[in-house]
Chains A and B, each alone.
Chain A
Amino acid sequence: MNKSEILIIDDEPQIRKLLDVILTSNDYKVNHAENGKEGIIMAANHPPELIILDLGLPDISGHEVLKELRTWYNNSIIILSVVNNEIDIVKALDNGASDYLSKPFRNSELLARIRAAIRRNQIPIQNSILNFNELEINLTNRTVKKNNEMLKLTFTEYNLLILLAKNEGRVLTQQYILKEIWGLNSQSETQYLRVFIGTLRKKIEDNPNKPSHIITENGVGYRFN
């Protein structure tokens, strides 16, 4: 029984109803707001553990709501919108959205994203060892093991892996990754990113053609599972 509180900000009654059924049947406590201003007030009065935000709201744009919320709200915000072009997705992620899901969505996907987002709310455990199924990353020694066998990663591959792994379950935009790994001026050099993602996958994935750890979000970035 988790009973985490979720605030839905969406102007479509059908979507609110649907989310209400999905979420309450999965033991979440749900509140609704039907426009941006109401959503901001509700979040301020009673900060939820997660906000599900639509981008197309009748009063102020979801991007504005997101910026406003992010001035003080630190828990996860998932964008759930019919808008599915990469520009808006990247903009939302840059403005502090934790994740993005476009309508129509599948329940299992939404619930998985919600679980991951709420998990990330909890204060990060200062573990020096990160585990992802068969993968084990030791942050102190800078070593990576797969099925208990040591992997040989290059300096950049390791940094890339750490950046992704520390943000487990969350989409990192390619601009963000480029900035973090290669510095400010290499934002247009996506070709390096593709190469290193490729070599990293060959080392850590069972089947690099069907990656299970480093997931590509087309035109947006990568997500680590």
Chain B
Amino acid sequence: MILRNKKINIIHQLLISFGVIISVSSVCFISNDLIGYKIVTLILLMTVSIIAMLFDITPVLLSAAFSALIWNFFFIPPIYTFHIENIEDLTMFFLYFLIAMIHAVLTYKIRNTEKKVRDREEKEHTIRLYNTLFNSLSHELRTPISTIIGSIDTLNENTKFLTPQQHNDLYIEIENAALRLNNQVENLLNISRLESGMLKLKDDWHDLNELIFLVIEKIKKQNNNHSIIYFNNEQLPLCKYDIVIIEQILYNILMNGIQYTPYNSIITITTFYNQPNIEIDISDNGSGIPEVNIPHVFEKFYRIEHSKSGGTGLGLSIVKGFVDAYHGKIILSNIENCGANFKIQLPLEVSFINYLKNE
């Protein structure tokens, strides 16, 4: 409600309030014989109360005054004059005026207090988010750096005592740590692109089949403990998208799958054209994602409790941001007796020119 207030300016609020009062009064005026002019006070008072809940103080005070005058002019006998004859009506008129004003002021105060509370909560939320970000970042960056420094110290100091196997293990650790750092930096850059609002999509025609195979190959180079299966979909049209963005979406979801499923799990990708959407389904045969966590996995720095370390807490929120940039949808669900399923729907421009084989 508060948010809506900010969008409607005072003049509009005033016009709307007066319009409502006039309409309500007209209805009351027509049915005056039925309900009697005293009941009309209550109806008008209620109208002013509702206006007080929605709008700023100035239009509300003016509405209270306006409705009092309307009541006086059209309802208190003698009607069509501002003159009030009997003392009871006069008392009622002033009481009406007073109650409407008190109401307006009180509602205004309550709303102000509410706003303060909300502001404070928002601020606390920001601080909490900042702390999470800070902790998560320092953890995600320092862990691989520690690994690199530690491994190198070990290699430098204990050369004589290390077996060739241990040497080799340390080199692999350094490599993995560096790749992880690189991945994290990539994610941070993407998050800042999204949050700065500087994300500009450079759409061009691409073959989605080709891109999927490319991403699979890229992941295989880094990780060979999982199988990723995709069958070339000959029915798929060419689509127009920013290849870097769609690549990142696919990469992050696949890496997420690899991160949170046991070794030798299978990740399956399928694609469809389901007008007007290009659909990409990515499912795994891991243990799925606990239902309570599903609504939160796309939040920044959200990590499922007790989950394996090594993730960045950013991957899926970037996916969500990029999918949103395409006005698309991403739905996460668990497949019964199977693992997690990500369904991505992107309303991309398509072309069936790839079906024309002639020159």
Partner of A86, one of B178, B182, B244: B244
Q: Which residues of chain B come closer than 8 Å to A208, judged between CB atoms?
A: 232
Q: Which residues of chain B come closer than 8 Å to A209, judged between CB atoms?
A: 209-210, 213, 232
B202 contacts chain A at the CB level, 8 A cutoff: yes
B188 contacts chain A at the CB level, 8 A cutoff: no
B194 contacts chain A at the CB level, 8 A cutoff: no
Complex interface bits, A214-225 against B, C-beta within 8 A gives 1, otherwise 0: 001011000000
Q: When the two chains form their complex, are residues B243 and A104 in contact, meaning their CB atoms are under 8 A apart?
A: no
Decide: A216 near B210, CB < 8 A? Known: A156-B359, A191-B238. yes
Q: How many A-B residue pairs have CB under 8 A?
A: 49
Q: When the two chains form their complex, are residues A219 and B209 in contact, meaning their CB atoms are under 8 A apart?
A: no
Minimal Cβ-Cβ distance residue in B for A188:
B204
Q: Which residues of chain B come closer than 8 Å to A219, judged between CB atoms?
A: 202, 204, 242-244
A225 to chain B, nearest CB (A): 14
Q: Which residues of chain A come closer than 8 Å to B238, judged between CB atoms?
A: 191, 194-195
B114 contacts chain A at the CB level, 8 A cutoff: no
Q: Which of A195, A199, A208 has the most CB of B within 10 A?
A: A195
Decide: A104 near B182, CB < 8 A? Known: A199-B357, A210-B217. yes
Q: When the two chains form their complex, are residues B354 and A195 in contact, meaning their CB atoms are under 8 A apart?
A: yes
Partner of A190, one of B204, B211, B217, B247: B204
Secondary structure call for the A interface: helix
Decide: A154 near B207, CB < 8 A? Known: A86-B202, A218-B214. no
A192 contacts chain B at the CB level, 8 A cutoff: yes
Minimal Cβ-Cβ distance residue in A for B218:
A218
Contacting residues of chain B (160-201) with chain A, CB-CB under 8 angstroms:
178, 182
CA distance A211 to B271 in the complex (A): 20
Q: Which residues of chain A come closer than 8 Å to B217, judged between CB atoms?
A: 210
Q: Which residues of chain B come closer than 8 Å to A72, judged between CB atoms?
A: none
Q: When the two chains form their complex, are residues A191 and B359 in contact, meaning their CB atoms are under 8 A apart?
A: no
CA distance A123 to B235 in the complex (A): 45
A198 contacts chain B at the CB level, 8 A cutoff: yes
CA distance A192 to B351 in the complex (A): 10
Q: When the two chains form their complex, are residues B353 and A218 in contact, meaning their CB atoms are under 8 A apart?
A: no
Partner of A218, one of B244, B354, B356: B244
Contacting residues of chain B (206-262) with chain A, CB-CB under 8 angstroms:
206-207, 209-211, 213-214, 217, 232, 238, 242-244, 247
Minimal Cβ-Cβ distance residue in A for B182:
A104
Q: Which residues of chain A come closer than 8 Å to B182, judged between CB atoms?
A: 104
CA distance A216 to B356 in the complex (A): 22
B263 contacts chain A at the CB level, 8 A cutoff: no
Q: When the two chains form their complex, are residues A191 and B205 in contact, meaning their CB atoms are under 8 A apart?
A: yes
Q: When the two chains form their complex, are residues A198 and B178 in contact, meaning their CB atoms are under 8 A apart?
A: no
Decide: A194 near B232, CB < 8 A? Known: A155-B359, A218-B244, A218-B247. no
CA distance A183 to B207 in the complex (A): 22
Q: Which residues of chain A come closer than 8 Å to B243, judged between CB atoms?
A: 218-219
CA distance A96 to B202 in the complex (A): 23
Q: Which residues of chain B come closer than 8 Å to A156, judged between CB atoms?
A: 359
Q: Which residues of chain B come closer than 8 Å to A155, judged between CB atoms?
A: 359
Minimal Cβ-Cβ distance residue in B for A87:
B202
Q: Which residues of chain A come closer than 8 Å to B359, judged between CB atoms?
A: 154-156
Contacting residues of chain A (81-96) with chain B, CB-CB under 8 angstroms:
85-87
Decide: A195 near B353, CB < 8 A? Known: A210-B213, A210-B217, A218-B214. yes
Complex interface bits, B39-74 against A, C-beta within 8 A gives 1, otherwise 0: 000000000000000000000000000000000000
Interface on B for A, CB 8 Å cutoff?
178, 182, 202, 204-207, 209-211, 213-214, 217, 232, 238, 242-244, 247, 351, 353-354, 356-357, 359
21 contacts between A and B (CB under 8 A): A86-B202, A104-B182, A190-B205, A191-B351, A194-B206, A194-B207, A194-B238, A194-B354, A195-B353, A195-B356, A198-B207, A199-B357, A208-B232, A209-B210, A209-B213, A209-B232, A210-B217, A219-B202, A219-B204, A219-B243, A219-B244
The 6 closest A-B pairs by CB, nearest first: A191-B205, A209-B213, A190-B205, A219-B243, A195-B354, A218-B243
Interface on A for B, CB 8 Å cutoff?
85-87, 104, 154-156, 190-192, 194-195, 198-199, 208-210, 216, 218-219
For the complex with contacts A86-B202, A198-B354, 14 further pairs of A-B residues with Cβ separation under 8 Å are: A87-B202, A104-B178, A104-B182, A191-B205, A194-B354, A198-B210, A209-B210, A209-B232, A210-B217, A216-B210, A218-B214, A218-B243, A218-B244, A219-B242
